[in-house]
Amino acid sequence: MSATTSGGLSALVQRVPVRPATWRLIGLTVLVWALLSAAAPGFNSTLNFQSMGFQVAEVGLFALAIAVSMLTAGIDLSIVSVANLAALTTAQVFVATGAENGGVGPLLAGVAVGLVVGGLCGLVNGLVITRLNVSPILATLGTMQLFNGIAVGWTNGESVYGMPQAFLSLGSGTAGLVPMPFVVLAVVALVLSVVVGRSGFGFKVRMLGANPVASRFAGVPNTKVLVRTYVLCGVIAAVAGMVVSSRTASANADYGQSYVLLAIVIAVLGGTNPNGGSASVPGVLLAAVTLQMVASGFNLLGFSQFTYQIAQGVILLAVMGVAAATGRLDLRRLLRRPRPTSPPALPDRPAPVAVAPAVAKNER
């Protein structure tokens, strides 16, 4: 690696914001690792860490999409349906172009079309929320059913196969000892952290989530920013869908339906405020790794999957309960309609009364 490239990467990493809450989460991660290392035999093996790296990428990407939507005081419940629809579209392009037989062109075409589909689904979400003035939780609940219905009707609920080996290596390959899905997650998290924390667009998103009226007075185009944010969520969900399909060597409309709750747990645990205005991408990444360690440890200890699901619910309720008790979360705002994206009209002022100038005595 050249000195120029190394310097640019170092400058990029230095721009990633690390909040105090992230350091506390680092402490929690270390504590979980220490406890499971002592309790679960084989937890620190290379094979177990590689297995965690393959599994954490999918839910980690979904959690990043949830965190971005929560940054605007909204939520995107359609991420899994978007991911499946994007993965199905990618697989269909692969089949139609014969990408299984090799060729860079069909591979890039399939990936590009999948990302475009994810962005279009996000655009639909954004327009429903902004143009129809529907609460994000209700809007994305509706589009979740819409996108899933399109995917099921398109394929009759059947899986689609025929993906090229180069694409499958995205879900099953490694870079050295690091699984490729985890590499994808780390790259997306790094880029998203810079976008959210240091770019002008990220600043506008945070302003919109914190106070949409004030952001409008500050010149922020709230509607455009909100729509673009949900487009970004759709693109991230599409990447997650491609990682899932590359791991399973197929695309299906019903993959990953249980990921929505887990993604919300990870986003909130990672320091994302559901009321908007603040989110920590490094925190979300750490939370995903921590919960994946818990899942792996439970598996090694012989606990059932239902036990882990119970733990997810307990963690979510505990985190949101503490946030609500400390005043950092207002649960009643989550079901309200979107807050006004335009400033309130100023009250009419009475017209000024014209006053005739005084006439000097010497002018009479």
- Ranking 274-288, 289-303, 311-325, 343-357 by mean pLDDT, the lowest is 343-357
Q: 204 falls in which pLDDT band (50, 70, 90)?
A: very high
Q: State the pTM of this model.
A: 0.83
Q: What is the pLDDT of residue 362?
A: 45
Q: What is the pLDDT of residue 47?
A: 92
Closest CA to 81 of 134, 128, 143, 124: 143
**H helices within 174-304, ranges in order?**
180-198, 200-210, 212-217, 222-248, 259-269, 281-300
What are residue 251's DSSP bridge partners? 160
Mean pLDDT of the chain: 83
Which pair of structure tokens corresponds to residue 241?
């869908």
Question: CA dist 252 to 33, 248, 276, Å?
Answer: 34, 10, 33
Q: CA-based diameter of the chain, in Å?
A: 108
The fraction of the chain above a pLDDT of 90, given in percent, is: 50
Q: What is the pLDDT of residue 221?
A: 93
Backbone angles phi, psi at 346, to 5 degrees: -75, 145
Query: What letter does residue 161 receive in the DSSP assignment?
Result: -
Q: Find all residues with CB under 8 Å of 230, minimum gap 6, and list them.
A: 69, 74, 76, 122, 123, 125, 126, 129
